[in-house]
Homo-oligomer: A and B are copies of this chain.
């Protein structure tokens, strides 16, 4: 049977399919949606893509995303400049900002140490963190990597580098998530929650 492929459509489907978590079927649905909308929609989408990628780069201090030289958090003089919360990904900054409980600064590593994937300490923004610690008056760094094997390894690697500098290194508390049901908590989480119990 003949091949009825429409090349520009296939190219658009392929672009959607390259996005994380988007499979073949979803990519097709999204591409068809673009074709069904006015041409201005595709044009605006295209401009937003190019514009975001062109204007946004890494903050020279915290390595998070910004469209300025320094990001808005690093430029904010009302924030506590003696504490740095170290996260793996730029989106983790947003998660902490949503809590409205942290007023210090951030540092984005852009990944975690993962020998299986060939990611060693040199692939991360650890050198930039060490420069900040040497040049600025930092009292504490909070290791806020994920509670996974790689996240733990990264936290303890950085902790070993930083402690000799006389800077306090802390780790996020482990425990039962707020609003969760004890019945469904795994034994490791529950053990850590017991271990870290507080007087009420």
Contact = CB atoms under 8 A, between A and B. Distances in A.
A80 interface: no
Interface in A47-81: 47-56, 65-67, 71-73, 76, 78
Contact of A32 (B4, B31, B91, B97): B91
Contact of A78 (B2, B39, B89): B2
A124 to B, nearest CB: 14
Interface in A69-102: 71-73, 76, 78, 89-91, 94, 97, 100
Interface in A6-37: 6-9, 11-12, 14-15, 18-22, 26, 28-35, 37
B51 A11 contact: yes
Contacts of A52: 8-9, 11-12, 31, 34-35, 42
A116 interface: no
Contacts of A200: none
B39 A7 contact: no
A50 B84 CA distance: 43
B48 A47 contact: no
Contacts of A44: 15
Interface string A88-131: 01110010010010000000000000000000000000000000
Copies of this chain, whole number: 2
A157 interface: no
A26 B16 CA distance: 13
A173 interface: no
Given A52-B11, A53-B42, A30 B20 contact: yes
Interface centre among A3, A48, A65, A100 (most CB of B within 10 A): A48
A91 B28 contact: yes
Closest 8 CB pairs of A and B: A42-B53, A46-B46, A12-B52, A4-B72, A8-B52, A15-B48, A46-B49, A12-B48
Given A7-B67, A8-B52, A11-B51, 14 more contacts: A2-B72, A4-B71, A4-B72, A6-B65, A8-B56, A11-B48, A12-B49, A15-B45, A20-B30, A21-B26, A22-B30, A42-B54, A45-B46, A46-B50
